[in-house]
Amino acid sequence: MTALQDKETAVSTSATLSLNLIQAINLAMREEMRLDERVVLFGEDVGARGGVFLATEGLQAEFGRRRVFDTPLSEASIVGAAVGMAVRGLRPIAEIQFADYMGPGFDQIVSQAAKIRYRSGGQFTAPLVIRTPSGGGVRGGHHHSQSPEAYYAHTPGLKVVMPSTPYDAKGLLKAAVRSDDPVIFFEPKRIYRAFKEDVPEGDYVVELGRAAVRREGADLTIVGYGGVMPDALKVADALKAEGVSVEVVDLRSIVPWDRETVLNSVAKTGRALLVSEAPRTANFMGEVAYTIQEELFDALLAPVSQVAGFDTPYPYAQDKVYLPGPNRMLRAAAKLLGY
Contact residues toward ligand TPP (CB under 6 A) are 44, 73, 75, 97, 101, 104
- Interface segment toward a copy of itself; rule CB under 8 A; list 18-26, 83-91, 221-229, 287-295: 287-295
Residues 6+ apart with CB under 8 A from 194: 20, 21, 230
Smaller CB separation from a copy of itself, 105 or 230: 105
What is the Cα–Cα distance from 142 to 75, expressed in whole angstroms? Answer: 18
Least separation, in Å, of the C-beta of 55 and ligand TPP? 14
40 binds, among a copy of itself, another protein, ligand TPP, none (CB under 5 to 8 A by kind): another protein
Single-letter amino acid, residue 281: T
Which candidate, 74, 40, 77, 80, places its Cα nearest to that of 60? 40
Chosen from a copy of itself, another protein, ligand TPP, none, partner binding at 70 (C-beta under 5 to 8 Å by type): another protein
Q: Decide if residue 5 touches another protein (CB under 8 A).
A: no
Binding of another protein by 270 (CB under 8 A): no
Active site annotation includes 144: yes
Residues 148-177 that bind another protein (CB under 8 A): 156-157, 159
Residue 154 or 196 with smaller CB distance to a copy of itself: 154
Considering only the stretches 152-160, 168-176, 222-230, 233-241, report the one whose residues sit in contact with a copy of itself under the rule CB under 8 A: 152-160
Among another protein, a copy of itself, ligand TPP, none, what does residue 65 contact (CB within 5–8 Å per kind)?
A: none
As a dihedral over the C-alpha atoms of residue 200, residue 235, residue 329, residue 5, rounded to 10 degrees, the angle is 30
281 in contact with a copy of itself (CB under 8 A): yes
User: Hey, how many other C-beta atoms are within 10 angstroms of the C-beta on 305?
Assistant: 18
Q: Which amino acid is at 149?
A: E
Pick 3 or 249: Cβ nearer another protein: 249
Query: Which of 33, 40, 35, 44 is CA-nearest to residue 76?
Result: 44
Nearer to another protein, 47 or 224 (CB): 47
Write the CB contacts of 223 (distance below 8 Å, at least 6 apart in sequence).
Answer: 249, 251, 262, 265, 272, 273, 274, 275, 285, 288
Catalytic site positions: 144
